[in-house]
Structure 1
Amino acid sequence: MTIPAFDSILNVLPTHLGDPRKPNDLSPYPCTVDEVCGRFATSGPRKAILDGFLNLRRELFKLGVEGFQWLDGSFLEDIEAQENRDPKDVDVITFISKPVSQADFLTLQSTSHWLLDRNATKQQFSVDHFVVHLGSSPRLLVDLSRYWYGLFSHRRDGLWKGMLSVELVDQADDVAARVTLGGAP
């Protein structure tokens, strides 16, 4: 799916593409990391944020993490037109499917504590990073999904907005994204 255009008045991604009863037309919109870079690498500050995001993904791949990520925040808005400023970071929720077991996930947390440290990931990668382990209890998964979707689908002023979803399983897409950013893979 192509990343939708910003709403011409509100400068945000739409929450749906016409009929909100059609699941394929709802946010979060699936796309590749390369498509994200192609669409949002429009300035030096944005390229630096995307470089940090790709670096975070590289570290997650090194740890054997797989899953998918929801992207949001002012980075996915035309914040330059809306507030006359650059985005400071990109908001990301990593839904982890591998490691599979809760015990293995807890081991990952203890050996790679930076993974859950928002301040560390924000400072090092320009990513406001959150993690949801898909091996959690069904009730917790529903509650966390409800919370994050509710939070990410609105701006602070209450305006509804869309978000993106990218897979965290294939490093080839990240290599292509690096080329799109103008860097070496």
Structure 2
Amino acid sequence: MIPDFNHSHVLPPFEGERMNSAHSSPYLVTSSELVQRFAISRQRCVVLDGLLRYRSELRGIGFTQGFQWLDGSFVEDIEAREDRAPKDIDAVTFAHPPPGMSNTAINQLMSARPDLFDLERCQREFHCDNYIVNLAMAPERLIVHTRYWYGLYSHRRGDALWKGMLQLPMDSDDDFARVMLDPLMHQGEPNAGST
């Protein structure tokens, strides 16, 4: 469940008196929960559409196991704080490589699909500021990458305010989320969820 925004217009880093995994960031969500909560404006629907398309493309080339950490102004109440809509969603995809694929083949695949792995193209085509972390790398390197992304995503840019983020499994209910989102993409201002 996605918690309410706090007085600073961000997701809280944890809920309750003490931190525990069930009530602390990153909060585990489904794709349909994202749509229900954040499809509240035309621009947010465009970003959600891009995220769902991006996830579909990743799964289509074999990146089916793992999860994404979602962050940035998209998971904040940026409309109340800065009177603007979010332009994209920040995502770090922690994924196992496609089964049986060598590092050379993975590098070739990434070169062949710059729309998915080149930061500028991914932002332009999918509204995702996305980075990939290979879950098959050496544990020491994986810890370094995880520490970096957690430190970056758990603090707001500009004032370093501690905040929460979301975790979306790669095998979530994207098809159902798409059914929810498509009608909202074709109407004026959606009125789904609350902020």
Q: Is the 8 A contact 1:32 1:167 kept in 2?
A: yes
Q: Residues 5-16 of structure 1 correspond to what in structure 2 (within 5 A)? A: 5-7=4-6, 9-16=7-14
* CA positional deviation for 1:20: 4.2
Q: Is the 8 A contact 1:20 1:26 kept in 2?
A: no
Give the counterpart of 1:46 among 29, 44, 47.
Answer: 44
Partner of 1:177: 177
Q: Does 1:99 align with 2:101?
A: no
Percent identity of paired positions between Structure 1 and Structure 2: 45
Q: Residues 15-164 of structure 1 correspond to what in structure 2 (within 5 A)? A: 15-66=13-64, 67-100=66-99, 103=103, 104-156=105-157, 157-164=159-166
Q: Is the 8 A contact 1:97 1:133 kept in 2?
A: yes
* CA positional deviation for 1:111: 2.8
Q: Is the 8 A contact 2:114 2:121 kept in 1?
A: no
Q: Structure 1 pair 44/106, CA: closer, same or farther in 2 (3 Å)? A: same
TM-score (norm 1): 0.91
CA distance in structure 2 between the aligned counterparts of 1:37 and 1:144, rounded to whole angstroms? 28
CA distance in structure 2 between the aligned counterparts of 1:59 and 1:23, rounded to whole angstroms? 30
* CA positional deviation for 1:99: 1.7
CA distance in structure 1 between the aligned counterparts of 2:125 and 2:114, rounded to whole angstroms? 14
Does the residue aligned with 1:36 lie in a helix, a strand or coil? helix
The count of corresponding residues between Structure 1 and Structure 2 is: 180
- Tell which has more relative contact order, 1 or 2 (C-alpha 8 A, sep 6+): 2
* CA positional deviation for 1:78: 0.4
* CA positional deviation for 1:123: 0.3
Q: What RMSD in Å do the two structures reach over aligned CA positions?
A: 1.7
* CA positional deviation for 1:148: 0.3
CA distance in structure 2 between the aligned counterparts of 1:48 and 1:161, rounded to whole angstroms? 24
1:17-76 deviations in Å (ceiling 9; x for gaps): 124441222100001011001100000000011001111111111111121111000000
CA distance in structure 1 between the aligned counterparts of 2:137 and 2:108, rounded to whole angstroms? 14
Structure 1 residue runs without a partner (length 5+): none
TM-score (norm 2): 0.86
1:103-138 deviations in Å (ceiling 9; x for gaps): 253343233233321100000011101100101111
* CA positional deviation for 1:142: 0.3
